[in-house]
Amino acid sequence: MTILIGMFDSPFTRRVAISAALLGVDFEHRDWSVGRDFDRIREYSPLGRVPVLVLDDGRALCESALILDWLDQQAGPERALLPVQADARLDALQLIALATGAADKGIHVVIERVFRPEEKRHAPWTERCLVQVRGALAELDRACAARAGQWLVGDAMTQADITVACYTTYVSEAVPLSLDDTPALRAHVARCEALPVFQRFYAPFFTPVPAPATA
């Protein structure tokens, strides 16, 4: 049985779990923390990050974009969550890139808070990251406003909706950051988060405990 390693407060793990469920790919879940279970995770991925998807043949995929691609390959082009048609694919990838950038920069802010003692935090760096997060969210807000009440790309839910929702929820809870300035994005994310599959694979942000590597 395919194994998914990672906690669902990780937006990267979460988008994989939601996508797998939507595509009907079963997995066993290992609810391992990147703090407490760091060494155990590194037995599967040298990066010590989650998600990791361990396939039946023992291969361990260690990047959510790669795992999503594998899931889409299992499902085939008709059911794939990333659109196949060129324009739709580009639109979806652009939204995913913006949401990914927001999550990446949001994580920088979280790391400053969680891993650095207060006297070692560098406020200009945090401010810069927040400008970048807000810029990406504002662009996503415009995209959501243009598609109000609809899925972001085409007539059905795509990976753009899943990733935008998972990553925006993460940023708003973990940074934390209000979505009041991005009401269309907030509404779109709320619509996704209300779906049973999003609720099933959700855990509130859990502050990781930094753990040094043993080797």
Ligand X SMILES: N[C@@H](CCC(=O)N[C@@H](CS)C(=O)NCC(=O)O)C(=O)O
Binding positions for ligand X, rule: CB under 6 A: 10, 12, 34, 48-51, 63-65
Report the nearest approach of ligand X to the CB of residue 176 (Å): 15
- C-beta of 63 vs 193, nearer to ligand X: 63
Three-state DSSP class for residue 3: strand
CB count, 10 Å around CB of 44?
20
Report the nearest approach of ligand X to the CB of residue 39 (Å): 12
- C-beta of 12 vs 70, nearer to ligand X: 12
What DSSP letter does each residue of 27-94 carry, written as one string? -EEE---TTTTHHHHHTT-TT--S-EEE-TTS-EE-SHHHHHHHHHHHH-TTT-SS--SHHHHHHHHH
Contacts of 175 (CB under 8 A, 6+ apart): 106, 109, 110, 130, 133
**Under 8 Å between Cβ of 33 and 208:** yes
**Under 8 Å between Cβ of 175 and 110:** yes
Name the residue whose CB lies closest to ligand X. Answer: 49
Report the nearest approach of ligand X to the CB of residue 213 (Å): 10
Dist CA 55 CA 27 (whole Å) = 9
- C-beta of 99 vs 143, nearer to ligand X: 99
- C-beta of 50 vs 99, nearer to ligand X: 50
Q: H or E element: which one contains 98? A: helix 86-115
Report the nearest approach of ligand X to the CB of residue 40 (Å): 13
- C-beta of 62 vs 189, nearer to ligand X: 62
Report the nearest approach of ligand X to the CB of residue 28 (Å): 19
